[in-house]
Amino acid sequence: MKLTLGFSPCPNDTFIFDALIHHKIDTEGLEFEVFFDDVETLNQKAFNGELDITKLSYHAFAYALDKYELLDAGSALGFGVGPLLITHKDFDIERIKKDPENLIVGIPGKYTTANFLLGIAYPDLTNKQEMLFSEIEQGLLNKQIDLGLIIHENRFTYSDKGLVKVIDLGDFWEKTTTCAIPLGGIVIQRDLPLAIKQKVNRLIAKSVAYAFENPKSALSFIKEHAQAMEEEVMYKHINLYVNKYSLELGVEGRNAINMLFDIAQSKGIIPPIQQEIYLTNKS
């Protein structure tokens, strides 16, 4: 059986899925047709139900619950992994308080968890410009935007370009909730047979475990999609976003996700959740 699978070309995703799609583990008769896209493109595809299995932002998942349920393996949660709000070094930070509605904020997508966190921390920053996540730094350098919301590997590169941090939104979340920040998860079509969903969950967990046991095995695959990123930066990225929650959400991971959705519903950021979030009978 062949299933369509979408994930980003970022090192954490290629690290997680290398063993699965390259048959370094037994895929138990399943084949995967892979689609590489940035996170907001994956979010949009999820809204349309285009893929059998996909990575998406937890913020976006709230709008795709009618089509997908969350797998226990493959998620990106953690501490110290949140998005950063940055700016150019000569920006007057006081403008955020005095004149927020006239500031242009570059964001990596409306339905990213990063934008969700920005809305909690700075609800008055409403003049947002959606951009490809990898172009936000340059937008700041060109003074096309006043503030930039960065994710992924850009958190390791912005300071080298003379840009400065306004706030770490992951740190803001952690201090507010004491929970890990849920960034992205792996979801699967609800209408697939339960046995297939359970198998996919099991295989992704095995793929993550293989990657942990053989961290350099995926190096060529990671480099192929990492846009000339330095190897040290790639593995910093991986170490930040791939952890115990990627193997299994566990009670802590589920509590963090539930907290995210509870806050989002209370603030009217997402619609009321009426479906079961998690894959049932996952084993």
Binding-site members for substrate are 55-57, 113-114
> Nearest 5°: phi and psi at 15?
-60, -45
Please answer whether residues 70 and 279 qualify as being in contact, where contact means their C-beta atoms are separated by less than 8 angstroms.
yes
The binding site comprises: 55-57, 113-114
- Specify whether 152 is catalytic: yes
Judged on CB neighbours under 10 Å (0-12, 13-18, 19+), 205 is: buried
- Residue 275 corresponds to which tokens in the numbers above? 């479906």
Helix (H/G/I), strand (E/B), else coil: 132: coil
Query: Taking CA 134 as the corner, what is the angle to CA 127 and CA 143, rounded to the nearest 5 degrees?
Result: 50
Which of 22, 59, 88, 152 is labelled catalytic? Answer: 152
Half-sphere exposure of 215 (CA within 13 A, CB side): 12
Q: How far is CA 31 from CA 1, 34, 52, 67, 219, in A?
A: 6, 10, 12, 21, 22
Place of tokens 């797998």: 71
The residue count of the chain comes to 283
Name residue 103's amino acid.
L
Half-sphere exposure of 161 (CA within 13 A, CB side): 18
Half-sphere exposure of 200 (CA within 13 A, CB side): 27
Which helix (H) or strand (E) element contains residue 35?
strand 31-36
**What is the C-alpha to C-alpha distance for residues 92 and 198, in angstroms, rounded to an integer?**
52
Name residue 251's amino acid.
V
Please give the distance of CA 70 from its chain centroid, rounded to a whole number.
14
Catalytic residue IDs: 152
